[in-house]
Amino acid sequence: MSEQNVQQVYNLPRIGDPAPSFEVNTTHGPIKLEDYKGQWLVLFSHPADFTPVCTTEFVGFQEIYPQLRELDTELLGLSIDSTQSHIAWVRNIEQNFNTDIEFPVIADLSKEVAMKYGMIHPNDGGTEASRAVFVIDPDQVIKAIIYYPLTTGRNMDEIVRLVKALQTTVNHSVSTPANWKPGDKVLVPPPASQQQAEERMKEEGIEVIDWYLAKKELKED
């Protein structure tokens, strides 16, 4: 096989996989993935510092950071830039937008983390990281993945909604319907047998639309 045809194949992490470990330099000093054990983590990548869409996103991520922290969720950014570049950009954002970026940003110059998480999509961004979001649970298992192209800024409200929905699922063993938001009814697991289906149709206290689709109010703990 010629050198030109040799391609390195990476196993990209999928939902349900253990989050690939890392030890990295960040704007807050050296950090290991395991430093977040016991908490939820939103790990996101952006293409490059000092670029327009990314700058609007960073302001947006900082705006949702207090909400995420209330959900015991930390935020960690990443791009293939140096710590010095990140520091300069974060200071620039503070000057231009009066926004103090409080979460750390990984300086992944070696692309080690970006490769492990499949953040580089060569046909969209060349060697830059795409707009990836990984939601990682307290046991450091990947619970959700979002990818956006370089041209399109992410929806911050959706990221908060996603974390809330995932935590609701974990804490209450339920699913959440389309456009669910806290306070809305949740979905109960569908019957696993014909007898269960029969009884589900007569069940009181839940909204049965059909035997396989039923909603209920979530009682607050």
Partner 1 sequence: MACIKSELTLAPSEVKLFLNTVNDSKVNLDDIKNQINKPLFKIKSALRELTETNYMTETDGYYVISDKGKTYLAENK
Q: Which is nearer to partner 1, 83 or 175 (CB)?
A: 83
| Segment interacting with partner 1, rule: CB under 8 A, options 35-43, 121-129, 130-138, 166-174 | 35-43
Residues 6+ apart with CB under 8 A from 138: 37, 38, 39, 40
DSSP H helical ranges for the chain: 52-70, 83-97, 112-116, 122-125, 156-172, 194-200
Of 13, 19, 20, 36, which one interacts with partner 1 (CB under 8 A)? 36
d(CA 169, CA 77): 25
Chain mean position to CA 126 = 22
For residues 29 and 31, what is the distance between their CA atoms, to the nearest angstrom?
Answer: 6
Catalytic residue set: 54
Rank residues 35 and 124 by Cβ distance to partner 1 and give the closer one.
Answer: 35
Q: Which of 12, 15, 38, 91 binds partner 1 (CB under 8 A)?
A: 38
Structure tokens at 186: 């949740």
Size of interface with partner 1, in residues (CB under 8 A): 15
Q: Give the three-state DSSP class for 46.
A: coil
Q: Does 30 bind partner 1 (CB under 8 A)?
A: yes
Q: Which stretch binds partner 1 (CB under 8 A): 3-11, 36-44, 56-64, 186-194?
A: 36-44
Interface positions with partner 1 (CB under 8 A): 25, 28-32, 35-36, 38-39, 69, 74, 82, 84, 104
